[in-house]
Amino acid sequence: MLNTLLRNPSLLIGGVIVLTLGVIAILAPALATHGVEQMDMANRLQGPSAAHWLGTDNFGRDLWTRLAYGAQLSLGVSALAVSLSVLLGTTIGLVAGYFGGWVDMVLMRITDIFLGFPALILAMAVVAVIGPGTPNLVAAMVLVFWTEYARVIRATTLSLRSRAYVDAALTGGASHLKILFREILPNAQGPIIVLATLGFGTAIITESALSFLGFGVRPPAPTWGGTLAYGTRFLSQSPWLSFASGLTIMLACLGFNLLGDGLRDMLDPRSRLRDGGATA
Amino acid sequence: MLAYTARRILTLIPLVFGMATVAFCLLLFFPGDPVAVLLGDAASPEQVAQARASLGLDQPWFMRLVNYLWSLAHGDLGSSIFQRRPVLDIILERLPATLELASAAMLVAVAIGLTLGIVAAVWRGTVIDMGAMLLAQLGISMPVFWLGIMLVYVFSVTLGWLPAISRGPDLVPAIGQALQGDTSALSKALSHLFLPALSLGLGQAAIISRLVRVSVLEVVHEDFVRTARAKGLGRPRVMLIHVLRNALLPIISVIGLRFGVLLAGAVLTEAIFAWPGLGQLIVLAVSQRDLPLILGLLLVFALMFAIVNLIVDLIYGVVDPRVSLE
């Protein structure tokens, strides 16, 4: 275990960053030094100090506290969006790849259509239609993220479908459902784990971008993107506000990207040369 | 080549109608009544009914879909609810600004990405390689909106070198004037374009550099490269003519695929720099919930993405004659 980690610095560094952010999110109430909405107008827009580790915002709210609670929001929303996208995308990919024929054709054409929209723009349109708010934000993200999983799982399923052990199971009288869940899905786990980890980075940036534009989780919720957005209004007096919140978003995305790269190297060493990553 | 191009353009048509259908169906989930939003609380029921009829909202959804697709086939995207003008006119007004920004950003991305990737591949395994790839990993993880804000802070707020917001004169006429000896418009246009293009292009440069490094490393060990070296060609010449040309294929295809991300990034970049393009327009349309405008913009963004990928496929055949387009 330790050897694997030492030989794979991406996995190690990415894992440490992700783990740290996860712990901060879970322990936010214990780690917070102030109340999340606790205002202190006498100490607005302060730089880092002993009392306020990362300074304060325009209402004198403690930035460290808000970023820690923001981790709960950003990681929570992203985790939900990624899990639901994996569920939807994997199901569609499995069905398309396994049954083939016109089922495959129809499902893949629909996937192509969704892939044809730039992701963030489709997400914005969806939020515009169904309205802002956290559940709607998650729905919008799922609607733009599922396609990637569907395509990869379909390709994996197609190649697994023709293996001898699937034929053997079919001959042995196993049902389609059983073959899909017992024979094919376990063998498609590697790509799903890698894609989902990299997708987490994309989800964090997308959530921040939507919050930044004002279409994400509603204020006064302490989202990273929202903090960054109102920080720009005080850029000349207190650049720290935008700087720290943006750095947090970048660190989170970096962590998941490194972890994803590391997992890919570990699970599928041949793919070391292929490339990918999340950005928005 | 011509037949292939024509066939590819024809395949765009069902894709566009598919997208229009999906986009239209999404909008059916709109919970409120756009007319109520438009007219406000003070409107009488008669006024609401009249407005609904004039917008065609009193018809069943499938009739509206058929009408929408029929208008689309005639190049009519409907009218904006708030601006009360044809959606197509509004979009065409804003399109040049976005194209200018996106092209400049792609230029930045390719120039920096190629340089960084080649440098990393040539000095593979050294500190230079590691430094370049660390930079690339940071660039990939950097949110474009944060990079933009930090560039504004450094170059506009602190140093005061470049304007923080808005667009200068149109670039293309400015280049024309510069060719006739008057460079004032060009320098003004570039001073406004520099920061938005840089912040939008750097993230893509990071991705391109990683790919360039990998593609170059895959090609340098091929026999024809060894032959070229054995013939006595110098390293730079082998690199440029033999290695890079063969490494270019995956790079070109990724540039096409990244264009969608670039367009999405343009929305954020335009919001930060008050760049008067389609990105700023869609933010406005979404906050006003101007459905016809949102629908039109969604389609235009998707169409731009599809056209860029078509061009990329065609360039493929030019760069590598082994790729058969027929």
Asked if A118 and B145 come within 8 Å (Cβ–Cβ), the reply is: no
- Structural domain that includes position A106: 11-38+52-279
Q: What is the pTM of this model?
A: 0.86
pLDDT on residue B37: 62
* Residues B252-265 pLDDT 10s: 878 887 887 888 88
The 10 Å CB-count burial string (b at 16+, else e) for A67-90 is bbbbbbbbbebbbbbbebbbebbb
Contact A109 B260 (CB under 8 A): no
> Could you please report the per-residue DSSP string of A182-232?
IIIHHHTHHHHHHHHHHHHHHHHHHHHHHHHHT-SSPTTS--HHHHHHHHG
Asked if the Cβ–Cβ distance from B27 to A201 is below 8 Å, we say: no
In whole angstroms, what is the distance from residue A114 CA to residue A94 CA? 18
- Do residue A120 and residue B150 have CB atoms under 8 angstroms apart? no
By the 10 Å C-beta count (0-12 exposed, 13-18 middle, 19+ buried), A57 is classed as buried
Tell me how close the Cα of A171 comes to any Cα of chain B, in angstroms: 40
Residues 187..246 of A with a Cβ closer than 8 Å to B: which?
Answer: 201, 205, 208-209, 212-215, 225, 228, 231-232, 235-236, 239, 242-243, 246
CB contact under 8 A, B143 and A280: yes
pLDDT tens for each residue of B287-310: 888 888 988 999 999 888 888 888
Contact residues for B97 (Cβ-Cβ < 8 A; gap 6+): B167, B275, B276, B277, B278
Which tokens belong to A170? Answer: 């079919």
Q: For residue range A207-226, what is the model confidence (pLDDT) as tens digits?
A: 999 988 888 888 788 888 88
CB B247 within 8 A of CB B220: no
- pLDDT at residue A163 is higher than 70: yes
Cβ pair B31:A130 closer than 8 A: yes
pLDDT band of B278, cuts 50, 70, 90: very high
Q: Determine, yes or no, domain membership for A3.
A: no
Contact B214 A213 (CB under 8 A): no
CATH 1.10.3720.10 spans which residues of chain B? 95-319
Would you say residue A248 lies in a domain? Answer: yes
Sort out which chain B residues have CB atoms less than 8 A from A265's CB and list them. Answer: none
Side-chain-side CA neighbours of A99 within 13 Å: the count stands at 16
CA B23 to chain A, closest CA, distance in angstroms equals 9
A113: nearest CB among B19, B143, B218: B19
Q: Using one digit for the tens of pLDDT, what is the confidence trace for A238-250?
A: 888 888 899 999 9
Question: Is A61 within a domain?
Answer: yes
Chain A residues whose CB is inside 8 A of the B264 CB are: 118-121, 280
Look at residue A99 and tell me if it is in a domain.
yes
- Does A98 contact chain B (CB < 8 Å)? no
CA dist., res. A13 & res. A229, Å (int): 29
CA distance A229 to A241: 9
Q: What would the pLDDT profile of B149-200 be if each residue is shown by its tens digit?
A: 888 888 888 888 888 777 778 888 888 887 887 877 877 888 888 899 999 9
List the single range of A179-188, A245-254, B317-326 with lowest mean pLDDT: B317-326
From the centroid of its chain, how far is CA B179?
Answer: 28
**Domain holding A232: CATH number?**
1.10.3720.10
Prediction ipTM score: 0.84
pLDDT at B122 over 90: no
Number of domains in chain A: 1
Cβ contact B150–A243 (<8 Å): yes
Is A98 a domain residue? yes
Fold of B95-319: MetI-like fold (1.10.3720)
